[in-house]
Amino acid sequence: MEKTKLEIDIDGMMAELETLAGFSDAPAPAVTRVVFSEQDRRAREYVKGLCRAAGLLVREDAVGNTFARWDGVAPELPAIGTGSHIDAIPNAGAYDGTVGVLGGLEAIRALQRSGFRPRRSIELIVFSAEEPTRFGIGCFSSRMLAGLLDGSTLGDKDGKTLEEWRTAAGFHGELSGVALPSGHYAGFLELHIEQGPLLEREGIPLGVVTAIAAPASLRMWIEGEGGHAGALLMPDRRDAFCAAAEIVLAVESAARSTGVVDTVGTVGVCDVFPGAVNSVPSRVRLEVDVRDTDLARRDGVLAKIEQAVADVSARRGVTVRTEVVNADCPAACDPGVVEALARVATAHGLAYRKMVSRAYHDTLFMSRIAPAAMLFIPCRGGVSHRPDEYAAPEAIAAGALVLAEALRELAS
Ligand code: GLV
Ligand code: MN
Ligand code: MN
């Protein structure tokens, strides 16, 4: 039988993206929406309202993962999941994560409008937080869904625990109840902006992700000796910030030393204590992010950083305590789901390229419990995690359409 043509209501979806971007702690066009903040709460309410308006059954788990279900004809079968996140790092843009949430919802609505009745249920997942801003670890809630993290030791940098944050936000129930068994979903698909330049540069509308690079992150506490910036003589100093500066440069040079573009290293957080112009820094806290598509090479960079830290610490007489927050394996996407996306793109006359995701995503962890893959769309200049992040309506519409068609195929 001829399949009904699906229509994406891109104007409606762009309006929803704009409304969602308005729930922000930063002035437009910047978006800051940290998990369990008031703006996060308002954004969740907005998205849940849209899901309910589409007739979906909404449920939340103990850490705020949100599931909006469209029951299939055979609701006893494992569902097909799709979704992404709506939290945003400080000073971010409007499309990271949100395109996968509202695109997933629009894909479901397009299927509903077409008269399609899924055999398997289709479930939109809004992961509670993909970004590491609050708890220092990316994807805490999909790690918990995949049973890889129990969440009991998570806290923010001021010592306020996940337990305190989530209950204050209205999420109760046992943390141990968050994990889903393997086989809970028959498939999982995440639509996302590429966050890199390749699709735009090559003029290709879609990326079908075959693997996700292996991320690692470290926290370091560097302790030296403080004192009066005028009176403490230079030969007597054990300046924690000077030591930190050397470590920051060592991270850069360790990442560059592989000679491969797939290796990246960043120090994105540096807190200096006491933070006064006329006081020698006594303590510094760094947060370090290292990634690679190749696990052994990524671990080689971590080893180089560890060596550099030991050298700096001995030479400058400071102590450095390092905590490995996470050092994950890369994910391989499921060949069957990858081929379903590729087939649908081709059927719609849309060119695609297979590619690796250098950014991490909740799919990194969903792939542990479900056959999973991702669909990328181009974003302007490859820019992301910045207020000027932008994806064109045509690009978003193409992504939502291919997502809808793939959901139709997998849920039939
Ligand atoms: C996700 O936001 C990442 O940092 O890759
Ligand atoms: Mn992000
Ligand atoms: Mn994202």
Q: Say whether both 302 and 347 belong to one domain.
A: no
Q: How many domains does the chain have?
A: 2
Q: Say whether both 156 and 53 belong to one domain.
A: yes
Atom of ligand 1 nearest to the CA of 291: 5
What pLDDT shows up at residue 259? Answer: 97
Distance 360 CA to ligand 1 centre (A): 5
Q: Say whether both 191 and 61 belong to one domain.
A: yes
Are the beta carbons of 186 and 253 closer than 8 angstroms?
A: no
Instruction: Report yes or no on 4 lying in a domain.
Output: no
| 360 touches ligand 1 (CB under 6 Å) | yes
Q: How far apart are CA 47 and CA 189, in angstroms?
A: 19
Instruction: Report yes or no on 1 lying in a domain.
Output: no
Distance 191 CA to ligand 2 centre (A): 13
Instruction: Report yes or no on 77 lying in a domain.
Output: yes
Domain boundaries, position 121? 10-213+330-411
Q: Say whether both 187 and 227 belong to one domain.
A: no
> Could you tell me the pLDDT band of residue 383, with boundaries at 50, 70 and 90?
very high
Q: Say whether both 343 and 198 belong to one domain.
A: yes
Q: Say whether both 241 and 345 belong to one domain.
A: no
**CATH number of domain containing 247:** 3.30.70.360
**Maximum CA extent, the chain:** 85
Instruction: Report yes or no on 204 lying in a domain.
Output: yes
Q: Say whether both 315 and 372 belong to one domain.
A: no
Domain termination residue (choose one: 269, 299, 327): 327
| 131 touches ligand 1 (CB under 6 Å) | yes
* Residue whose CA is at the smallest distance from ligand 1 atom 5: 359
Q: How far apart are CA 211 and CA 357, in angstroms?
A: 6
**CATH number of domain containing 120:** 3.40.630.10
Q: Say whether both 51 and 162 belong to one domain.
A: yes
State yes or no: pLDDT of 1 exceeds 60: no
Output the CA torsion 154→160→163→165 (10° steps). Answer: -110
Q: How far apart are CA 199 and CA 21, in angstroms?
A: 24
> Could you tell me the pLDDT band of residue 86, with boundaries at 50, 70 and 90?
very high
What pLDDT shows up at residue 2? Answer: 64
First to last CA, the chain: 13
Residue with tokens 């400058």: 316
| 67 touches ligand 1 (CB under 6 Å) | no
| 290 touches ligand 1 (CB under 6 Å) | no
Q: Say whether both 335 and 323 belong to one domain.
A: no
* Residue whose CA is at the smallest distance from ligand 1 atom 2: 131
Share of the chain above pLDDT 90, in %: 98
Q: How far apart are CA 356 and CA 373, in angstroms?
A: 11
Residue with tokens 């029951």: 71
Atom of ligand 1 nearest to the CA of 96: 2
Q: Say whether both 311 and 334 belong to one domain.
A: no
Q: Say whether both 92 and 63 belong to one domain.
A: yes
Q: Look up residue 211 and give its two tokens.
A: 């693997």
Instruction: Report yes or no on 106 lying in a domain.
Output: yes
pLDDT digits (tens, 9 = 90+) for 167-200: 999 999 999 999 998 899 999 999 999 999 999 9
| 214 touches ligand 1 (CB under 6 Å) | no
Whole-number CA gyration radius for the chain:
22
Instruction: Report yes or no on 5 lying in a domain.
Output: no
Domain termination residue (choose one: 327, 354, 373): 327
Atom of ligand 1 nearest to the CA of 384: 2
Instruction: Report yes or no on 150 lying in a domain.
Output: yes
| 359 touches ligand 1 (CB under 6 Å) | yes
Distance 100 CA to ligand 2 centre (A): 12
Q: What is the pTM of this model?
A: 0.94
